[in-house]
Structure 1
Amino acid sequence: MTLTLTGRYYRMYPSFDNPLGHAEEELELDPARTGFLIVDAYGRGFDDEEEHPGLAGIYAPDPVVKEIVREHIVPAREAARQAGLPVVYLTNHLSPGLTERTEWRNLSMRTCDVDVLDAWREPNDILAFSKVIAPGDGEPLIRKQMYSGFYETTLDSTLRARDIRDLVVVGFDSRICLGNTVTEAMYRGYRVVVLRDCVRTFEYPETREGELANLLAIRYIESNVGYTATSAQFAAACARLAGG
């Protein structure tokens, strides 16, 4: 049995001025070697009954992100579970190696007004999981400090221990943590399929109309990393596999 999924990619030839553009390919994924990777879907506020008084600034609840998590990521995760695909989580944490001199910490302070040495000390509402998206029993939770989930973590060994070759990826942020993680996954030989309605990024004032930053993040993935599909396509593929 195979997991048959239509993957979309972007053709930049014959020239940058006149690219052929999008194309689709029927991907045959071995379910025994395909993993479902959830990147940075943490934070209080995805459950209806939750209160999140401590979340503000860049961590303030976003209704669009909540809709993506509840209406797209959670159903895709359930489809993956029903099809028998291993589900792996990536999340941020406060690394013991982080100090006042760490440049990433200083970058966060000057661009996001967040000192992670204070904001990320656990327990906190920023890094906690809402019940609707929390890891299930036996689902690995890999903790990272920097953008890429492969940087100084056990993600690669966790995937290889399960003989995973293909990755279906969802989560946040399409330009930053998810974007860096899937790029490095490609470096390491994994075939990547990002579910494009299961990602989002911060939009600048000049990109909000048309959500151009997220569009370009998806285009980068389709041009330089792997494929994209939709959560509905993935759920249908898993249903065919489970019923097959």
Structure 2
Amino acid sequence: MAAKDTSRRDFIKKSSLGGLGTALGIGTVIPAIAEQGLNTSEHSISDEKLHVKPRFHNWIVDEGEEWLELNTKQANLDWNIPVSQCALVLLDVWQRHYLKEPEERAEKIINERYVPLLKSCREYGMEVIHCPSPQVAKTHPNWVKLMSEAELKPIPDSWPPKEFRNLSGPYNVYRRPFTQKEAERNALTPLTFHPKVVPLNNEAVIAYGEELHRYCKQKGILFLFFAGFNTNACLITRDYGALQMNYRGYQVSVIRDCTTGMESRETQAGLLQTNGALLFFEMYGQYTVTSNEIISGFSRKA
């Protein structure tokens, strides 16, 4: 039993140190570019730097402490990174929500956090990328269209059966009940960009995760700072969301004061879904920062 515990702890320690090396760019960031056939000279690297201290959950206990969950804690890295390799990713920043409370929370966040954050990022030349869902992205003139029509079509697969995937025919009994309230929700005004977070000038509009990856590759972007809604839904599940882009190899930070989740009767008072999702990011490979940290982190403001 002791040997098994030791090996697992060694694995955790090695994994954490490996992740730290990647985050700090020790022998990892530039080779990753080379593997993709990119030359750093192809991308405009300015002297502008962004200083942030990304927060993560450290699973390694301090020296002399027992291996207990209670002894794990939050920690911070210290990054000075080229602004030319950074992007602010605005994910599903809608003009409305069908639930009143998340709509009110999001509206407050957009007015108090997004407006100054966007102003500062645009002023200091950080790439701003809008990811508003495929349906909305494809209607905007700034859609980058980096995927062919053939690639946009889903690859047909015989398993699971089409009827099962649609829960139709003999599988209809497994559907969740459809209510009149759902019809009322579907009849609301179509979702679109929030009026205070619309693409300006040539800011990219992205429809898919693969498209976001291709755009970042073109621009030499390695660090993605995510703001958007909802914390416990689209930020996790979208193919252009924080998790999937981290899996693709990018260093991902969620701006924790620029997001809110959908809560339940049991979680709303403490925003437990929102805070739990942020902790999930910090625990499993991503980071969190604040909007003020980014605003004050540009080198010319230091």
Q: TM-score, normalised by structure 2?
A: 0.63
How many angstroms apart in 1 are the aligned matches of 2:88 and 2:121?
7
Could you tell me how far 1:10 is from its partner in structure 2? 0.7
How many angstroms apart in 2 are the aligned matches of 1:17 and 1:228?
20
Aligned to 1:65: 106
Query: Structure 1 residues 91, 101: CA separation in 2 closer, same or farther (over 3 Å shift)?
Result: farther
Could you tell me how far 1:12 is from its partner in structure 2? 2.3
Query: Structure 1 residues 89, 243: CA separation in 2 closer, same or farther (over 3 Å shift)?
Result: same
Query: Structure 1 residues 110, 162: CA separation in 2 closer, same or farther (over 3 Å shift)?
Result: farther
1:108 touches 1:114 (CA, 8 Å); kept in 2?
no
**Counterpart pick for 1:195 among 255, 264, 267:** 255
2:102 touches 2:261 (CA, 8 Å); kept in 1?
no
Aligned to 1:80: 121
Q: Decide which structure has the larger Cα Rg and report it.
A: 2
Could you tell me how far 1:219 is from its partner in structure 2? 0.3
Aligned to 1:157: 214
How many angstroms apart in 1 are the aligned matches of 2:192 and 2:175?
20
1:79-105 per-residue CA deviation (whole Å, 9 max, x = no partner) reads 11111011001012449979998659x
How many angstroms apart in 1 are the aligned matches of 2:196 and 2:120?
15
**Counterpart pick for 1:4 among 33, 51, 66:** 51
Equivalent positions of 1:128-143 (< 5 A) are: 128-143=192-207
Aligned to 1:89: 130
Partner SS, residue 203 of structure 2: coil
Equivalent positions of 1:1-244 (< 5 A) are: 1=47, 2-14=49-61, 15=67, 17-44=69-96, 57-58=98-99, 62-94=103-135, 103=166, 114=182, 119=186, 125-144=189-208, 150=209, 153-180=210-237, 181-238=241-298, 241-243=299-301
How many angstroms apart in 1 are the aligned matches of 2:212 and 2:56?
25
How many angstroms apart in 2 are the aligned matches of 1:64 and 1:234?
21
- Aligned amino acid, residue 72 of structure 1: R
Alignment size in residue pairs: 219
Unaligned runs of 5+ in 1: 45-54, 145-149
1:203-230 per-residue CA deviation (whole Å, 9 max, x = no partner) reads 0111112111111100011111321111
How many angstroms apart in 1 are the aligned matches of 2:289 and 2:114?
13
Kindly report the root-mean-square deviation, in angstroms, between the aligned alpha carbons of the 2 structures: 3.4
Q: TM-score, normalised by structure 1?
A: 0.77
Query: Structure 1 residues 154, 176: CA separation in 2 closer, same or farther (over 3 Å shift)?
Result: same
How many angstroms apart in 1 are the aligned matches of 2:199 and 2:163?
31
Aligned to 1:49: none
More helix by share: 2
Query: Structure 1 residues 33, 101: CA separation in 2 closer, same or farther (over 3 Å shift)?
Result: same
How many angstroms apart in 2 are the aligned matches of 1:12 and 1:212?
21
How many angstroms apart in 2 are the aligned matches of 1:74 and 1:162?
25
More strand by share: 1
Unaligned runs of 5+ in 2: 1-46, 62-66, 139-151, 155-161
1:4 touches 1:26 (CA, 8 Å); kept in 2?
yes
Q: In percent, how many aligned pairs have the same letter?
A: 22
How many angstroms apart in 1 are the aligned matches of 2:199 and 2:256?
21
1:101-137 per-residue CA deviation (whole Å, 9 max, x = no partner) reads 8659x9997589657xx949xxx74322232111111
- After TM superposition, the structure 1 stretch with the greater mean CA deviation from structure 2, 5-14 or 89-98, is 89-98
Query: Structure 1 residues 81, 205: CA separation in 2 closer, same or farther (over 3 Å shift)?
Result: same
1:16-46 per-residue CA deviation (whole Å, 9 max, x = no partner) reads 53332111111122111111100000225xx
Could you tell me how far 1:195 is from its partner in structure 2? 0.9
